[in-house]
Amino acid sequence: MTENQQNQEERQLLKYIPERDYKARNYKEFGGPFPDLCKNCKHYYAHIHERGLTKDPFPPTCQEHVADVFKDISVDDFETEEEYNQLMVLSDPVAWAYQMFPDDSGEPWMARWYQEEIMSCTAQKKVVRAGRRCGKTEAICVIMLWLTQTNADFTVLVIAPFEAQVNLIWDKIEGFINKSSDISSTVRRSTKSPEHRLEFNNGSKIIGFSSGPSSSARSDKIRGQDAKYIVLDEADYLAPSDVEAILAILASHPNCGMWASSTPKGTHEKFYSFCVQKDIGFKEFHYISAESPSWNQKAEEFFKTTYDAVTYEHEFLAEFGIQEGGVFRNDLIDSSLLDYDLPRDRSGPGTRVVIGVDWNGQDIGAHIVVVEAVQSDKGLKYLLLNKAIIKGKEFTQHEAIDKILEFNKQYDADYIYVDHGYGEVQVEMLQMIGKQRPGTNLHKKVKAYAMGGRIEIRDPLTNQMVKKAAKPFLVNNAARSLEQNLLVLPYSEDTQVLVESKEGEEQSASAGIVQQMRNFAVERVSVTGQPTYTQGDEHTLTAYMLAITGFILEFSDMRKSTSRIQIQQLEKRNEDGSPKDPDKKNKAIADLARQLDIGKPIATKLGGSGAGAVKTIQKEQESMRKTLSKGNRGTLSKYFGPSRSNLGRSGGRKSF
């Protein structure tokens, strides 16, 4: 590979470069603003454009620094100096807040240096990724009041995931209003029920909505609103359907401004896209909690001991990191990605291939993946070769069967693992085709896997057959394979599907397997220790996990090999199709199955049932979750070391 090709490949693989690289500083606070906000911003976007991260040299829409309005204006352009000063104050939210909001002792409200950075930027769309106690909600409350006080007939929509969060925003807004008699006198209407609403004498208003994953009716209500500025607070906790409804408002109001702020929760959804996909046009601001002047050594020690590593990373470092309750670790997913295209040919006749199929109705469709087990110079790898999604057609199931037959012929699959639930009839059809066409061997290859049932395996230590819940067993296969560095996936599957619009549906826009892995999580765990996983856009991932489980169940230890080449032959089976060493197979499966025993109500382990057993289960689950979250944390290992000194300080305009 030439140097030019290598540089081009690096540009293609690079997805995100931070403007403030806290990780490179071991999460030591910056303690102050950029010397020149706009100059630094232009340099940053030029840099990432040169590295191939943006198509547009400067995606944000802005008018540079808010104070630039004064560059070509002098006091001589006004009849009095008072008029000139008044224009300066009204044009600058930082100066305006300084003048309008004195505290009880008469001291003016002064923006912290990072609040001043955000408020001084004129970008039409801003995304603020900040840790707890930074004051991001306070900053947006000031901005909303400034916009509605200095503009007539100006509507601001505020959307938060929970009613309590909207109430908090309203309390802060009212607190600011009560500090200013000038603003108080302009309030025409103020209500919190049936909706949060503030109306002013100049026709401007602020309207608040709470929204959440189960509030589809709210999405319709939001979609029907009109606004000139939209505020999303705790945006990473909003349901995707609500964010899509909000984006629809932007589509019909191209000049509408938008603010999205949140502490990350770890999922790679809309808020993550706003931060990472720079071509969308959001100007990102990232600050850790240690930038706050109220942060000190005691606060740091308290929160580190109170929160586990994953939660601390989200709440106080404002990093996406690992999803809370996430099954697949983002750092391990990143390590599994390679730059290759789908479809990919089978590596050789000596490898193993399993096809996974997740059957669904016409709207969701059948999701089919082809995975190959190969021996590389780095050991055993499960390599994604191909995938297909058949949906939205009159004969979806028949076309899906045709695609399976096509893949089986193309890749000469060893096994086809199929979701038994919706695909029971299709399984029978495939097996019937296998008997009618002996050359396909489908009657032997096709294996039905009942997600809601239990899988029976033999424990080689006790020689007893044990039953395990099928869905957790399936998920744990894939998670354990990722942890063992066995998975190889293409960068093209690390998608960021933003809006499932009609256009996107026509183009079959769908989240890739990697995106689905990043968003796949445990929603809750029952008192019997059974996990319930997220439901939604995980169907291609389910097909992929079926294929991985097929390898585990059907083949003996594939790590063994007599020769070492780039891609070498896997351990074969006997002529009758049985494993060469059944004990190895059973031991591998049993080892995997035992991973599921953590926190589950095994009578011999708990010594009984009832409330005591439930408490033991919950205690073990929490202990294991914290242990796993603290292990192998590359981004936090140095941070959770020696104590750091606090360099944070407050900022603000020097004169007004």
Contact 247, 271 (CB under 8 A): no
Provide Rg for the chain, Cα atoms: 29
Which residue, 571, 596, 627, sits at the end of a domain?
571
Phi, psi of 508 (to 5 degrees): 55, 40
DSSP string covering 488-535, please? EEEGGGS-------HHHHHTT----HHHHHHH-BEEEE-TTS-EEE--
Percent of the chain with pLDDT over 90: 38
Which residue, 300, 321, 342, sits at the end of a domain?
321
Q: What is the pLDDT of residue 14?
A: 55
**Number of C-alpha atoms within 13 angstroms, CB side, residue 351?**
26
Q: What is the pLDDT of residue 476?
A: 83
Indicate whether 127 and 217 sit together in one domain. yes
Least confident piece of the model among 67-76, 121-130, 524-533, 617-626: 617-626
Least confident piece of the model among 357-371, 388-402, 483-497, 502-516: 502-516
Indicate whether 379 and 497 sit together in one domain. yes
Instruction: Supply the CATH number for residue 497's domain.
Output: 3.30.420.280
Q: What is the pLDDT of residue 322?
A: 67
- Per the domain annotation, does 425 fall within a domain? yes
Contact 259, 230 (CB under 8 A): yes
- Per the domain annotation, does 503 fall within a domain? yes
Maximum alpha-carbon separation in the chain: 100
Q: Would you place residue 462 in the very low, low, confident or very high pLDDT band (cuts 50, 70, 90)?
A: low
DSSP string covering 359-377, please? ---TTT-EEEEEEEEEEET
Q: What is the pLDDT of residue 84?
A: 85
- Per the domain annotation, does 55 fall within a domain? no
pTM for the structure as a whole: 0.62
Nearest to 521 by CA among 161, 127, 213: 213
Q: What is the pLDDT of residue 454?
A: 83
Indicate whether 315 and 356 sit together in one domain. no
Q: What is the pLDDT of residue 628?
A: 35
Partnered with residue 515 across adjacent β-strands are: none
Least confident piece of the model among 511-515, 547-551, 553-557: 553-557
Partnered with residue 207 across adjacent β-strands are: 157, 197
- Per the domain annotation, does 620 fall within a domain? no
Indicate whether 513 and 454 sit together in one domain. yes
Instruction: Answer whether residue 502 shows pLDDT above 70.
Output: no
DSSP string covering 163-200, please? HHHHHHHHHHHHHHHHT-HHHHTTEEEEE-SSSEEEEE
- Per the domain annotation, does 229 fall within a domain? yes
Which residue, 571, 597, 623, sits at the end of a domain?
571
Indicate whether 254 and 400 sit together in one domain. no
Q: What is the mean pLDDT of residues 122-128?
A: 96
E strands in 263-320: 283-287
Return d(Cα 294, Cα 315) in angstroms, integer: 16
Mean pLDDT of the chain: 78
Higher pLDDT, 564 or 39: 39
Q: Would you place residue 81 in the very low, low, confident or very high pLDDT band (cuts 50, 70, 90)?
A: confident
Indicate whether 414 and 548 sit together in one domain. yes
- Per the domain annotation, does 542 fall within a domain? yes
Q: What is the pLDDT of residue 544?
A: 96
> Which residues fall within 8 angstroms of residue 642, CB to CB, at 6 or more apart?
none
Q: What is the pLDDT of residue 610?
A: 40
Nearest to 630 by CA among 311, 335, 267: 311
Instruction: Answer whether residue 158 shows pLDDT above 60.
Output: yes
E strands in 348-452: 352-358, 366-376, 379-390, 415-419, 446-449
Indicate whether 299 and 410 sit together in one domain. no
Contact 376, 357 (CB under 8 A): no
Q: Is the dihedral of CA 162, 259, 135, 132 positive or negative?
A: positive
> Which residues fall within 8 angstroms of residue 623, CB to CB, at 6 or more apart?
none
Q: Would you place residue 137 in the very low, low, confident or very high pLDDT band (cuts 50, 70, 90)?
A: very high
DSSP state of 629: H
Instruction: Answer whether residue 253 shows pLDDT above 90.
Output: no
Return d(Cα 339, Cα 73) in angstroms, integer: 53
Summarised one tens digit per residue, pLDDT across range 567-599 is 333 333 455 544 455 444 444 444 444 344 332
- Per the domain annotation, does 652 fall within a domain? no
Q: What is the mean pLDDT of residues 601-616?
A: 37
Q: What is the pLDDT of residue 188?
A: 95
Nearest to 307 by CA among 548, 625, 652, 525: 625
Indicate whether 365 and 507 sit together in one domain. yes
User: Please, is 144 exposed, middle or buried when counting C-beta atoms within 10 Å of its C-beta (0-12, 13-18, 19+)?
Assistant: buried
Contact 226, 151 (CB under 8 A): no
205-210 and 196-200 as β-strands: parallel, antiparallel, unpaired? antiparallel
| Residue pointed to by tokens 């191939």 | 52
Q: Would you place residue 366 in the very low, low, confident or very high pLDDT band (cuts 50, 70, 90)?
A: confident
Indicate whether 395 and 540 sit together in one domain. yes
Summarised one tens digit per residue, pLDDT across range 434-451 is 788 877 778 888 888 988
Q: What is the pLDDT of residue 266?
A: 79
229-233 and 464-469 as β-strands: parallel, antiparallel, unpaired? unpaired
Higher pLDDT, 637 or 551: 551
Higher pLDDT, 356 or 269: 356
Highest mean pLDDT of the ranges 230-234, 301-305, 388-392, 621-625: 230-234
Contact 253, 280 (CB under 8 A): no
Q: Would you place residue 633 in the very low, low, confident or very high pLDDT band (cuts 50, 70, 90)?
A: very low
Q: Would you place residue 218 in the very low, low, confident or very high pLDDT band (cuts 50, 70, 90)?
A: low
Structural domain for 191, as ranges: 66-321
Q: Would you place residue 342 in the very low, low, confident or very high pLDDT band (cuts 50, 70, 90)?
A: very high
Higher pLDDT, 501 or 444: 444
Q: Tell me how far CA of residue 187 lies from CA of 126, 221, 227, 590, in angstroms.
A: 27, 25, 19, 69
446-449 and 415-419 as β-strands: parallel, antiparallel, unpaired? parallel
Instruction: Answer whether residue 181 shows pLDDT above 70.
Output: yes
Indicate whether 283 and 409 sit together in one domain. no
Indicate whether 502 and 429 sit together in one domain. yes
Instruction: Answer whether residue 648 shows pLDDT above 70.
Output: no
Summarised one tens digit per residue, pLDDT across range 23-46 is 999 999 999 999 999 999 999 999
Q: Tell me how far CA of residue 643 lies from CA of 151, 218, 638, in angstroms.
A: 47, 45, 10
Instruction: Answer whether residue 348 shows pLDDT above 70.
Output: yes
- Per the domain annotation, does 76 fall within a domain? yes
Q: What is the pLDDT of residue 376?
A: 81
Instruction: Supply the CATH number for residue 89's domain.
Output: 3.40.50.300
Indicate whether 312 and 449 sit together in one domain. no
Report how many domains make up the chain: 2
